[in-house]
Chain A
Amino acid sequence: MKSAKTLAVAGLLSASFAMPAAHAGATLDAVKKNDAVKCGINTPFPGFANQDEKGNWSGLDIDVCRAVAAAIFGDPNKVKFTSLTAKERFTALQSGEVDMLSRNSTGTLSRDTGLGLTFVAPNYYDGQGFLVKKSLNVKSAKELDGASVCIQSGTTTELNLADYFRANNMKFEPITYEKLDEVTKAFDEGRCDVLTSDQSQLYSNRITLKDPEGAVVLPEVISKEPLGPFVRQGDDEWLKIVRWSYYAMVEAEDLGVTSANAEEMTKSTDPNIKRFLGMEEGGDANLPLDKKWAYNIVKMVGNYGESFERSVGQGSPLKINRGLNALWKNGGLQYSPPFR
């Protein structure tokens, strides 16, 4: 049996055979053995996955990977990043090439139920919009009948676009590319009139255009795009580690704990904060992690607000407002279940 299996592996489809078995705890064991979290991320995408000259990654999606590494190893740099296109991303996760995906992917019913994957939680609430050249004098998406639309293939955007035009009885010519920068280049060169994507992407695409001022984002938002990490189905322990690592960032902002004051906060008298930072019994969950895992995340990566502002918010060239991504108490949707 064993030799037959080896043969089969060598034969074909090695990826689908060589996957680690999906029993609970297997992913964490593998991660510990590799001494790194293998994280699938976007090809460089301003704000969410930036790469500097030295090859270091930063950004909103990157911080989720780093938070998981900080929770497990107490070291946010124990992450091995793999850049994936929209088309490759789910296959890479299914086949075990990466342990988690943090690549602004929309959680949908079909993806959550049909791909053998689980959507973790939305770390960015987005919606699909349209970017057009100012010179076209278009004020609303309803005026786009007959337009050529540039779009990234294999995305929910592709489906929403078709639905929107069908619902409004308009025609369009879809021009699809595999990579985001190809889409942007085609729009820049005039191959299409409109570029459609999640609004966050539109803002980050706009700053890479030759003439950013010459393009505007139309007011219509035509879909709900809850973006967030995915993990493989069947390893609940791993799902919980990733999910709660992200919640820890949100909860930290909620409690007012930042990377700067985390040390100080351990002396806080507030039982919620003490529990959260692992200073008091009852805070540490039944996760196979260090007692101070949440403290490590906040100290080393920062809370959600810090991560947002430096990646896509006012501290970045994108200057995106918190909007839907503000904390629940500030009128947004970011909300963490209680840490108790």
Chain B
Amino acid sequence: MADPNLSATPPQAISTLPSKPPFWNDPQKRALVFQILLVIGIGLLLWFIFSNTLHNLDKRGIKTGFDFLDRPAGFGITQSLIPYTEASTFGRTFLVGLLNTLLVAGLGIIFATLLGFAVGVARLSKNWLISRVALVFIETIRNIPPLLQILFWYRAILPLLPGPKDSISLAELFYLHKRGFTLPSPLFEPAFIWTFWAVIAALVLAFIMSRWAKARREKTGQQFPVVWTAVGIILVLPLITFFLTGSPLNWDIPALSGFNFRGGLTVIPELTALLLALSIYTAAFIAEIVRSGIESVSKGQSEAAASLGLRPNRTLQLVIIPQAMRVIIPQLTSQYLNLTKNTSLGVAIGYPDLVNVFAGTTLNQTGQAVEIIFMTMLVYLVISLVISLFMNWYNKRMALVER
């Protein structure tokens, strides 16, 4: 089967192969060129939008730039986590609003998770009454828009409380009234810093202890009461420091004077209403997520665990929950993101969050809509991305490790 051509072609092929095809025939290089062109195109478009906006604002005599952040704001804000007065700058109002948003989002996520897990487990309860109550709760709450729920708490429930002068009082320390919940606030003396450091030290110690216990268990198989030791360290160490430094903590007791309570700390009703509504609303969704997560773990898993001799609570802890978490976490992330974004609904009841204080009052006082709305959108984007990144990291840790 000798073909004269066969012997003739190889040298030819060898000589043509190394000479590369032109780059437009190379799919990889071509793709690269297109991608670079696309990036340049998008960059130009963004630049065009940016410069065009600036040009148009300038033409209409509207001020631009971020100088306004250094100008005094001149208005008051009901609730501020950092010192704020009317003489503070607009930049400060941005921080105040941002912290107020984070406060609601953070507390809301904690409450919604706790309540959601409780209701989700209750929904699976073998007790008919408990599971039905959970079902009715979920179905009702999930299907009412969050804004209505916020208004319900703020307009219908909280105004039923008495005015500050006839507050519901508990031991003359805690007062519940129309304008909020007033409670004693702590006054830290300088020496309290030692107690604070003791807490940090105790946390570090507890962490080291748990690492050591884990290493020992993996080596020798011996158990160590990690949880109880940790609780002991975290409670006892700061307490001893606290008393050794002479109990450097006083309480500012609220007292009625004039129109309102003086002293103490007042949780404003806007915060209460927003927190209640958002936590309950999101909890209803989380409950369903938890239920679906637990139900996704096949029955065989718990049976297998039982046949290995694991007690039911150990089965839940070691077998069911780790597998359920894989289903729960990604969905939980989107609920956390929803809750965070829903905090902006607080503007309807005058809660001083970022949208209200910054994208509202500050925008109106300065008139610089483009900069302010841009900053506000950026903040929500960053908060959402941070939550997503954290949850993705946590999800990776919890994901099933296949060996």
Contacts and interface: CB of A to CB of B under 8 A. Distances in A.
A190 B159 contact: yes
A162 B75 contact: yes
B177 to A, nearest CB: 9
Interface stretch (B12-20, B51-59, B287-295, B380-388): B51-59
Interface string B237-264: 0000000000000000000011110100
Nearest to A12: B49
Interface in A135-190: 136, 144-148, 153-155, 158-159, 161-163, 165-166, 172-178, 182, 185-186, 189-190
B56 A19 contact: yes
A51 interface: no
A8 interface: yes
A5 to B, nearest CB: 8
A233 B57 CA distance: 11
Contact of B45 (A11, A176, A191): A11
A215 to B, nearest CB: 15
Given A11-B45, A189-B178, A91 B86 contact: no
Interface in B143-177: 155, 159, 163
B360 interface: yes
A114 B366 contact: yes
A234 B61 contact: yes
Contacts, number: 139
Q: Main SS of chain A's interface residues?
A: mixed
B125 interface: no
Interface residues of B, number: 45
Contact of A115 (B74, B260, B367): B367
B63 interface: yes
Interface in A81-112: 86-87, 90-91, 94, 111
Among A13, A144, A165, max chain B CB count under 10 A is at A13
A287 interface: no
Given A146-B258, A174-B77, A176-B350, A154 B365 contact: yes
B347 A178 contact: yes
Contacts of B178: 189-191
Given A190-B159, A190-B178, A147 B258 contact: yes
A176 B100 CA distance: 15
B364 A153 contact: yes
A320 to B, nearest CB: 26
Interface in B349-364: 349-350, 352, 356, 360-361, 363-364
A232 B61 CA distance: 9
Contacts of A146: 257-260, 262
Interface of B: 45, 48-49, 52-53, 56-57, 59-63, 74-78, 86-87, 155, 159, 163, 178-179, 257-260, 262, 269, 347-350, 352, 356, 360-361, 363-367, 369-370
16 contacts: A8-B45, A17-B52, A17-B53, A19-B56, A22-B60, A87-B364, A90-B367, A111-B367, A146-B262, A174-B75, A176-B78, A177-B350, A178-B348, A185-B155, A191-B179, A234-B59
Given A19-B56, A176-B356, 10 more contacts: A12-B49, A16-B56, A114-B367, A116-B60, A153-B360, A158-B365, A159-B365, A173-B76, A174-B78, A186-B350
Interface of A: 4-5, 7-8, 11-13, 16-17, 19, 22, 86-87, 90-91, 94, 111, 114-116, 136, 144-148, 153-155, 158-159, 161-163, 165-166, 172-178, 182, 185-186, 189-193, 232-234
